[in-house]
Amino acid sequence: MGTEWKRKVSLFDVSDDYEASLSALFTRLSRVSINGAAAAANPPPINPWSGRPYSARYLKLLEKRRELPVWRHKDEFLRALRDNRTLILVGETGCGKTTQIPQFVLDAEDLGNHSAVACTQPWRLAAVSVARRVAQEMDVAIGEEVGYSVRFKHLCSYKTVLKYLTDAMLLREAMADPLLEKYKVIILDEVHERTLATDVLFAHLKAVLKKRPDLKLVVMSAALEVEKFQGYFSGAPLMKVHGRLHPVDIFYTQEPERDYMEAAIRTAVQIHMCEPAGDILVFLTGEGEIEDACWKINMEINNFGDHVGPVEVVPLYSTLPLAMQLKVFEPGPPSLRGGPPRRKIVVSTNIAETSLTIDGIVYVIDPGFTKHKVYDPRIRVESLLNSPISKASAHQRAGRAGRTRPGKCFRLYTGKSFNEDLQQQTYPEIFRLNLAYTVLTLKKLGIDDLVHFDFMDHPAPETLMRALEVLNYLGTLDDEGNLTHLGEMMSEFPLDPQMSKMLVMSPKYNCSNEITTIAAMLSDLNHLVYVWHLYYFDCNITMCKQSARFLVSPNCFLRPREARKAAGEARSRFGHIDGDHLTLLNVCHWYKQNSKSSTYDYFINARALKYADKVRRQLVGIMTRLGLKVCSTDFNSRVYYVNIRKALVAGYFMQVAHREQNGHYLTVKDNQIVHLHPSNSMDHKPEWVFFDEFVLTTSNFIRTVTDVRGEWLIDIAPHYYDLSNFPLCEAKRALEKLYGKREREASVTRVRRLYLTPPAAP
């Protein structure tokens, strides 16, 4: 079915009054601009931050800053900030609030010694890219006066007065400094995303404001439920910034699309063939779709030969290494004079919705879907589900096209669907995610009464109770709900509580070196499903980009379409008979001992392993700071791999499945029928396995699995495998046999001690 478009009056069309005001602004700028003669006669002013003269780039960027709609509201904002401790600012996408408001604060606030301004972002890429842009605008070096802090990567110094950081990182700073005393102004940006960390920060900062009369809070977004936020923040004043630099035309389809991914690919190819020069941004839901679309777009356009210009297709999703994410900001291929236009096509998840200005984007393709993680507390399973976006997200996506020049947004759904089917705001994460890590964070912050904690939206009681139960089983909380010494140590790791428990317990099994390696590979930052890879074709020296699929998750193996058999054979060389976690360890050992150039021959993703190594170094640093021994069992010892598997069970004893008589696996206590994922490295079906992921697709799969022994379970977690709380199943009968065997062994030991121990001397 062809894609037909109908024109709707743009939500972002520029009025005549605005055009007139913008023209007047350009006239004023031209009168005060510094020409070459004036610059020669008058030396450039000194930058108060660096102590050096301003550069020519600064003056050029300053002119662009003055064109931003938010610049006209600078005085109004500063007055509102001076008169109020909390301020809510709503500004249209592209008005410049993310880059300019923090600089306005720096211009107005006397920060004093060792005080700074913090500005949060929901995504690490946004925090890094915006920090770099603001450093250029302030004419300072990134990492000096302007810095950033994201998970496992920090670039700040004692000079830093403006820090961009993810909301989760600010929350972690609050765990060490509950009053956040080094900040004088805190700006929460893109709060319409309603991440878990942002919701916790809302409540925590409300409490901090009562204790710190010198602190000020700015809450910003492009789309907010104004009345709700004002009510939550005790009637805080609202400031609105209207206008954008460039208009965006919005188009809808006449009929719903049956396959939004194929429609998105088709639309991207049509734009490249028919529209004037300008880069394209395509929104899709996940890594798999993105890499598949990148490959198909390349193939489709290559089929047209010289009739169309070449393209550079760039993927963007949150689990890509940061260095690969930053490639989206590199300029696209330049067009040849008189030839067809060349373009950059960015295919992204919703990570590109907020606070990212990718120069050159003119066209946006919005299929209207996103992928959300949803947690079911009854069976303790998190699954990724496709769901429609909100109207707020649709506005954000359209705004990506109007950042640097007039643009167009192609929505792959009808106008009726937009008006009637999409909800107004994004569903808060607090309603749909596992709260175990959040509860641990709140406990670390000293919040004991979770039921009456001042959430903007309270989570479901069942989800909260399940989180408390999990933390109690892990030993993080005692029976009264208080944070234990073990919980204090676990809270220092920016990881899932089960992984943190595994790390803390690893020295007991003399394998903390190996466990930190496995933890780094299991980290969310390394859950890469795809990667770009280079291949040679025929006898040409030309390198062509082809998408390559990994085989397991967390994935360090490449599985290119053209060499699946060879990739499978290469992967089998690293496989460990006892499971995927030990396979990952084998890969890391090989990577350390061999030339990095040989990774391509073995279909190994060197980038993933390099990044895992960086993560590992940080984890080792945390363990050293906590006084945890970093050690290893002798590699030639018979218990080398046994100790590692026991340490893994110490953290993941709640994620265990038992093989039933029919050959299927049943998850312990939750009684969910599951299958081993086909990618697992074991050549047998052990009686007991523990798993890292529960994947809901056409069937229920457990992925990244390792063989464990039943007796380990009752030794390491007897409180969890207490048969009085166990549902009737084959796993219970197997555990009863193990407990019976253990009791008989104990009885024999008591008899031997009674009759074989020599009597004490009189």
- Given this model, what pLDDT does residue 288 score? 81
- Model pLDDT, residue 589: 86
In order of 24, 225, 668, 743, the CA distances from 735 in angstroms are: 81, 53, 11, 12
How far, in whole angstroms, is CA 277 from its chain's centroid? Answer: 32
Run of H or E including 35: none
Q: Record the tokens describing residue 707, joined without a space.
A: 């063989």
Q: Residue 358 has which token pair?
A: 């990718």
> For residue 701, what are the β-bridge partners?
675, 695
627 burial level (CB within 10 Å; 0-12, 13-18, 19+): exposed
Q: Of 551, 511, 507, nearest to 529 (Cα)?
A: 551
DSSP character at residue 88:
E
User: How many whole angstroms separate alpha carbon 109 and alpha carbon 113?
Assistant: 12
H-only helix segments in 139-286? 167-176, 196-211, 226-232, 260-274
Contact 708, 641 (CB under 8 A): no
Residue 467 neighbours by CB under 8 Å, 6+ apart: 434, 435, 436, 438, 439
Q: How far apart are CA 201 and CA 167, in angstroms?
A: 8
- Cα dihedral sign for 469, 474, 475, 476? negative
C-alpha to C-alpha distances, 557 to 154, 398, 552, 568, 590, nearest whole angstrom: 28, 36, 7, 9, 13
Both tokens of 45, joined, read 């002013």
Q: CA dist 226 to 88, 200, 237, 239, Å? A: 8, 19, 10, 10
534 — phi, psi (to 5°)?
Answer: -105, 135
The token duo for 758 is: 């020599």
What tokens appear for 546 in the block? 């082809």
| Residue 12 · residue 244 · CB < 8 Å | yes
What gap in Å lies between CA 368 and CA 413, rounded to an integer? Answer: 7
> Tokens 């609105």 appear where?
240
Q: How far is CA 219 from CA 101, 482, 532, 664, in A?
A: 11, 32, 38, 51
Query: Phi/psi class of residue 447: alpha, beta or left (left: φ > 0; alpha: ψ in -120 to 50)?
Result: beta
Q: Of 359, 367, 360, 429, give the one whose Cα is nearest residue 397.
A: 367
DSSP state of 498: H
CB-CB contact of 406 with 246 (8 Å) = yes
In three-state secondary structure terms, 456 is: coil
Long-range contacts of the stretch 173-177 (C-beta < 8 A, 24+): 174/201, 174/204, 174/445, 175/441, 175/444, 175/445, 175/491
For 100, phi then psi, to 5°, come to -90, -40
Are the C-beta atoms of residues 123 and 354 closer than 8 Å to each other? yes
Q: Which residue has the tokens 């596992």?
A: 434
pLDDT score for 540:
29
Calpha distance 377→381 (Å, rounded): 7
Query: What is the C-alpha to C-alpha distance for residues 643 and 665, in angstroms, rounded to an integer?
Result: 25
Burial 389-399 (b: 16+ CB within 10 A, else e): bbbbbbbbbbb
- In the numeric block, the tokens 């830093």 are attached to 160
| Residue 649, token pair as written in the block | 């069970």
Q: Which helix (H) or strand (E) holds 555?
A: none
- Taking the chain, what is the end-to-end CA distance rounded to the nearest angstrom? 100
Q: Which residues pair with 411 in a beta bridge?
A: 252, 366
CA separation for the pair 276, 341 (Å, rounded): 7
Q: Which residue in this structure is represented by tokens 């609202």?
A: 238
Measured N-to-C along each axis, helices 512-522 and 497-505 cross at an angle, to the nearest 10 degrees, of 160
Specify the pLDDT at position 506: 97
Helix (H), strand (E), coil (C) string for 590-656: HHHHCCHHHHCCCCECHHHHHHHHHHHHHHHHHHHHCCCCCCCCCCCCCCHHHHHHHHHHHHHCCCE
| β 248-253/5-8 pair status | antiparallel
Give the chain's radius of gyration (CA, Å).
Answer: 29
Q: Going from the N-terminus, what domains does the chain have, and what CATH number goes with each?
A: 60-241 (3.40.50.300), 248-330+340-430 (3.40.50.300), 435-532+551-626 (1.20.120.1080), 653-749 (no CATH)
Q: Are 120 and 149 in contact (CB under 8 A)?
A: no
Tell me the three state secondary structure of residue 241.
strand
Q: Specify the residue for token string 């009739």.
A: 307
pLDDT of residue 380: 81
Beta bridge partners of 659: 665
With a CB cutoff of 8 Å and minimum separation 6, the contacts of 196 are: 429, 430, 433, 435, 438
List the 248-253 sheet strands across, edge first: 5-8, 248-253, 407-411, 361-366, 279-283, 343-348, 311-316
Residue pair 192/221 in contact (Cβ under 8 Å)? The answer is yes
What is residue 99's predicted lDDT score, i.e. its pLDDT?
94
Query: Rounded distance, CA 604 to CA 570, Å?
Result: 9
Q: What would you measure as the largest C-alpha separation in the chain, in angstroms?
A: 111
State which amino acid sits at residue 100. Answer: Q
| 503 vs 490: CA distance, rounded Å | 8
DSSP 381-410: EEEEEEEEPPHHHHHHHHHGGGSSS-EEEE
Whole-angstrom Cα distance, residue 711 to residue 18?
Answer: 74
38: exposed, middle or buried (Cβ count in 10 Å: 0-12, 13-18, 19+): exposed
Q: Report the distance separating Cα 389 and Cα 427, nearest Å.
A: 9
Distance (Å, rounded) from C-alpha 282 to C-alpha 300?
A: 16
- Please give the full DSSP string across 481-492, using - where no structure is assigned: SPBPHHHHHHTT
The segments of the chain whose pLDDT lies below 50 read 1-41, 524-554
